[in-house]
Amino acid sequence: MKKNVYILLSMLVFSFAFVACEDEDKEAFNFHSQSENLAPYVRVINNSPIIDATALATAGFEGVVSAPANNVASWDLSVTKVPGNATASPLASITSFPSDVNITGAEIAAALGISIADMAAGDQLVFTATSTGTDGTTLSFAELAGDLSGQPEQRQAYNFSSFLGCPAFTAADLVGMWAITTDGFGGMCIDDCVFEIVTGPGENQVTFLDMFDHPALGGGQYDVILDFDPATGNASIATQPAWDSGQLGYGYGQGFADGSGFAFACADLITMTLRYTVGLGSFGQYAFVAQKQ
């Protein structure tokens, strides 16, 4: 019995010694305290995913850039405006961390070589960046490790977007007559593609009355409900009846539409990507743009 106890105690002592040695060995590779072993990552908090398109002289990209390991020499930011693909590279170079970054729309336009008048609600600003370490190592979005999916502030430091939007608005600001100016599906909109928007049925909802009512379809289509976020302009259409395939020459019965995009009250513009489906499946996703009359 004493022999067994002795053996057990010996094993416990050996285990504690092994763990202690292992922990001591790990200490030399502790990435959280040994900054020289870290890649020169930065983190970005983007405080302006939506930029007020009506106040670009003062509104723009606002964020906080930090380098937790204190081993970053610079963070270089570039921007591309979509549509148009005008690019400014670099837009800014940050060399002190943490830093508050504030770049107005006017400054972005100047860097892009365009005027503020060339920037409008619905435009997307795609930001890309690289960070350079104090040891000269350079990182871009392509070098981010696959295990960083849980680190949004670190991941977006190298690739993120902001949209030009409108100040907060209400459903009443969207009420009126609208014309479909882009019909990516083709055939849904021919000649006189005008519909009316009314408020409701719920809060932050509007209804497109007889959305695809025009001569080619003979009228009698469906009302479609749009949900929107009054603070950001994000808009969506849940799957719902919107058209009849028989009036387009197909025998697939009732047609449905769903999708997402933006409603810009200040620009009298709704731009979305809509999916058109029937019971047998989907016809695909297509651009949809409407302009207030």
Residues 240, 191 share a domain: yes
**Collapsed DSSP state (helix, strand, coil) of residue 125:** strand
pLDDT for residue 145: 66
* CATH at 269: 2.40.128
pTM over 0.85: no
Residue 246 lies in a domain: yes
User: 174-210: per-residue pLDDT in tens?
Assistant: 999 999 888 888 766 655 688 899 999 999 999 999 8
For residue 250, which of 284, 219, 277, 285 has the smallest C-alpha distance?
277
Residues 204, 156 share a domain: no
Contact 36, 149 (CB under 8 A): no
Residues 137, 181 share a domain: no
* End residue of a domain, out of 108, 138, 165: 165
* CATH at 119: 2.60.40
Residues 144, 180 share a domain: no
* End residue of a domain, out of 165, 184, 217: 165
| DSSP summary character for residue 131 | E
Could you give the CA distance from residue 285 to residue 288 in angstroms, rounded to a whole number?
Answer: 10
Residues 72, 142 share a domain: yes
pLDDT for residue 251: 81
Residue 1 lies in a domain: no
Residues 176, 157 share a domain: no
Residues 137, 40 share a domain: yes
Could you give the CA distance from residue 86 to residue 125 in angstroms, rounded to a whole number?
Answer: 10
Residue 200 lies in a domain: yes
pLDDT for residue 183: 83
pLDDT for residue 222: 86
Which structural domain range is residue 181 located in?
Answer: 171-292
Contact 47, 64 (CB under 8 A): yes
* End residue of a domain, out of 165, 181, 216: 165
Residue 127 lies in a domain: yes
Q: Are strands 159-165 and 50-52 parallel, antiparallel or unpaired?
A: parallel
User: 248-289: per-residue pLDDT in tens?
Assistant: 677 888 889 999 999 999 889 998 899 999 988 988 999 898
Tell the residue number behind the tokens 């022999």, with chain if given.
Answer: 3
Series of mean pLDDT values for 10-residue runs along the chain (293 residues): 38 37 36 56 89 93 92 96 92 96 96 94 92 93 66 82 89 95 75 85 94 60 92 93 78 89 90 90 90 93
Q: Name the domain count of the chain.
A: 2
Could you give the CA distance from residue 125 to residue 51 in angstroms, rounded to a whole number?
Answer: 10
Cα 8 to Cα 11, 13, 18, distances in angstroms: 5, 9, 15
